[in-house]
Each structure stands twice: as C-alpha cells, then as structure tokens.
Amino acid sequence: MLTLDAEQTAARSWFEHLRDRICAEFEAIEREAGSDAAFDYIAWDRTDPSGEPGGANDGGGGVRGVMKGKVFEKVGVNVSTVGGHLDGDFGKTIHGAGEDPRFFATGISLVAHMVNPHVPAVHMNTRFLVTTKRWFGGGADLNPPLPVAGDTADFHATLQAACDAHDPAHYPRFKAWADEYFYIPHRKVHRGVGGIFYDHLEGDFAANLAFTRAVGEAFLDVYPRIVRRRMNDAFDAADVAAQRNWRGRYAEFNLVYDRGTLFGLKTGGNIDAILMSLPPLATWE
C-alpha cells in the first residue's frame, strides 16, 4: 500500500466522496427515466516499474466506474491514487519532477456521453499531485453536439460563482485557460463551449483544496440540472448524425492533445480507465 501523508489522505478522501455522490445522482436520473442502470465498479492495481504490488514500491491503483443506461449512453467516473517514479524525459515535463522523479497523484476523472443529442456531453477532472512541489489542477467543460445558449450560460455562471467565492481573478483566468486548452489545432475549432481549466495551483493546501471542492460541488449542482432539462427533448436521425460526427472531434482531441491521457499512459495507469473518455459510437465523414 502507498503511504499517504495527511494532505494526500484529505485529497484522496474528497475525490472518493465526490465520486460516490456523482454516481448516486446519475443513477437517480436513470431511475427518473425508468431505467435500472447502475455503475459497475472495477478496481485496478498499478505496479511501479521499480517494485511489486503491496511492496515498498507499490504503485497504488484506482477504481473505474462505468454506467450505460437510457439517459447516459456511456459515463465513466474514475478515481485513482498512484505513486512511484516518472520516466526520464516525460518526468521532466511534469511540474516539479525535473529534479526528482518521485511522484504522487490522486484525483477524479469523469466523462459522460449521452443518448439524447440535445443533452451535452461533459468532462470533469480534479487532481492533487506531489513532486518536489504540491499542487491542484483540473476543471470542467461542457461539450454539446447541439449547443443551447441557455445551458452554456447556466454552466458558466455556476462555475463563475464557485470561482468568485474564492478569488474574483480565478474565473476569467481559468475560463481563458480552458478556451486555450480545449482547442483542436488541426481542425481549428474548440472541443466544446468551454468551462474552466486550472493547473499548478500551489501554496495554501487548505485554501486550494477548498477551491477544488467548490469546483466539484459546482459540477454536481449544474450538470444534473442541465441533463434533466434536456433528456426528454425530441430528436431525429439528423441530430444523431450531428452528435456522432461531433464525437469524432472529441475523440481526436483526447487521443492527440489531452495531457491527462498522456499522463495516464506514461505512468502505467489502467488502459480502460484512461480511454473511458472515448465515445461508444462516433463517425468521421
């Protein structure tokens, strides 16, 4: 087992608690739609290259949760707590790991792809990393195949309120960061309608954990509200075609540019958990 200090334990506990609440809310939405779909949870272990599971160099692990239902075509909610040593060149790209390859990371990662094209897909991830530095990162962004201005405004307003309660400078900075990050250069389009993205938030652990908690609470507040607002909207074959074509763009971003995907692959994470962000059906025309 990994040995965790008080800060690492507090961060891990929050991410697991948030996972439980999100999954319960998503299952409640399925019940409202007349579905008995529920999350399947699969635990996985990570072996650090220099050790064996359960030994001094145990690399930790996580739990992959996936549900396929009447409203959620495919939603994954993963938590992981891992540690060990980063590979040479890759390690040098990670904040604070250039001088020492040892690392610790704990976090939650969520991606939902929806049955109804009028219900936006969504991504949310928050994490706590330790190298020679300690920092939080993450955010949430909305990815509608068929954007609705009111849903976009609601999503952003809820995230802004969470940001403003901690630092009025957070929202404009983190919104701009999301706009820059969630961009597909070879398509010259954004992946969705944005949200917030932050990284390397270090210094006051308690304050930064409180902000990261607020981001999770904001997501849990706004996204189920949007799902319930749109999940019974009528749709046709043209809407589905637009959804699947858009999903191709989403897959391109996650496979080519997403840093979380690269981090998981480079650190020996669970392949199914890393690639759970990919949609169940997509098209390229």
**Range of lowest pLDDT (6-15, 67-76, 95-104):** 95-104
**If DSSP states are collapsed to H, E and C, what string results for 85-132?**
ECCHHHHCCCCCCCCCCEEEEEEEEEEEEECCCCCCEEEEEEEEEECC
Residue with the larger pLDDT of the pair 98 and 175: 175
For the chain, give the mean pLDDT: 93
Query: What's the pLDDT score for residue 50?
Result: 56
Q: Which residues on adjacent β-strands are paired with residue 183? A: 190
Other C-beta atoms within 10 Å of 256: how many?
12
Say yes or no to pLDDT of 67 above 70: yes
Q: Helix, strand or coil for residue 199?
A: strand
Tens digit of pLDDT for each residue in 113-158?
999 999 999 999 999 999 999 999 999 999 999 999 999 999 999 9
How far apart are the C-alpha atoms of 191 and 242, rounded to whole Å? 14
Q: Which residue has the higher pLDDT, 180 or 101?
A: 180
What percent of the chain clears pLDDT 90, i.e. is strictly above it? 80
Of 50, 42, 144, residue with least CA distance to 103: 50
Domains and CATH numbers, the chain: 6-277 (3.40.1500.10)
Q: β-pairing, 134-143 with 72-85? A: unpaired
Distance CA 3, CA 133 (A): 18
Choose, from 85, 113, 118, 123, the residue flagged as catalytic.
123
Active-site residue, 123 included: yes
pLDDT tens figures, 201-235: 999 999 999 999 999 999 999 999 999 999 999 99
